[in-house]
Amino acid sequence: MFPLTALTIKESIGKKILLAIFISATLFLLLILFFLTLDVVDGAKTYVQFLGIREAVENGKDTSEIISKNMKEVVTLIQAGIGGITYGMGIFLTLFATSDLFPSMIKKGYIDLIVSKPFSRTRLFNERVLGSLIIVSALILYIVVGSWLIISWKSGVWNYSFLLSSLMIIIIYSILYMYVLFFSLLTGNGRFGLIITYGMIVISPILLAREKLLSLLGNSWSFLFDTLYYIIPKVSHLGEIVVNLIRGKEINDFSPLLITIVGGVIMYFINLYIFNKKDF
């Protein structure tokens, strides 16, 4: 039903970089499992129990309830750290692994064979994007669900908010991938698009502190910072949302996510237009 998507997945699996990322993800999960089997973890649980008993004695509260609350806080902190690592490294590695899918497809000979088939360019574009998204989603879910199962099994605390972080990471990847595609389609070079997108990610923390910077630099820079703020994906802002989501904290401002999604949708239609008009 989706032959071009299946072809994209097959090509992606054939790339050694994806195999390397999968092996790295497996080693990461094994590292988590190894850490959680150390005596120091049992010691931490004992310490949490001790604090719970002491607090219960001092305040006349139920001991089991306090211990459960303290243990959940410890687990969510660990998961927030893992979520932050998965968010940062996952975005960088998955973009690197999929950045060359379109440039390799539009090379002379390969694209001639593809466009000779009874497929519209819109379908070709969408199925190629879908294939890369399926591969990345599987990898992100493997890491997030795997680490969640390991931590939950060991601690007895099942924090389902941690699973939602995988959805956020996949959404952010799909948006950033649109920017990689834009520069890749313009130049025919996936690495060029990747470097420019990485540059946007590096600039993102600066935009997070734009109000403080403007107070130091003056309002003459406000137009530049405001323009960059609405053009560049707010990766750092969204990273904070991912961590807060895992920790169960209230998220009061979803505007960075909404602005970034709108930007991603716009870039999707721009890329689709370029791909349809490009002379192959």
Nearest Cα to Cα of residue 88 among 177, 196, 169, 199: 169
Give me the helices (H) in 99-189, please: 101-105, 110-115, 121-155, 161-187
pLDDT over 80 at 46, yes or no = no
Per-residue confidence (pLDDT) for residue 176, from 0 to 100? 94
Nearest Cα to Cα of residue 258 among 274, 237, 276, 240: 237
> Are the C-beta atoms of 114 and 124 separated by less than 8 Å?
yes
Please tell me the distance from the alpha carbon of residue 30 to that of residue 35, in angstroms, as a whole number.
9
Residue the block writes with tokens 């806080």: 73
Please tell me the distance from the alpha carbon of residue 106 to that of residue 1, in angstroms, as a whole number.
22
Instruction: Give this prediction's pTM.
Output: 0.83
pLDDT digits 0-9 by tens, 103-162: 777 777 677 777 677 778 888 899 889 988 998 999 899 999 998 898 888 777 788 888
DSSP reduced 3-state for 119: coil
The band of 52, judged by pLDDT with boundaries at 50, 70 and 90, is very low
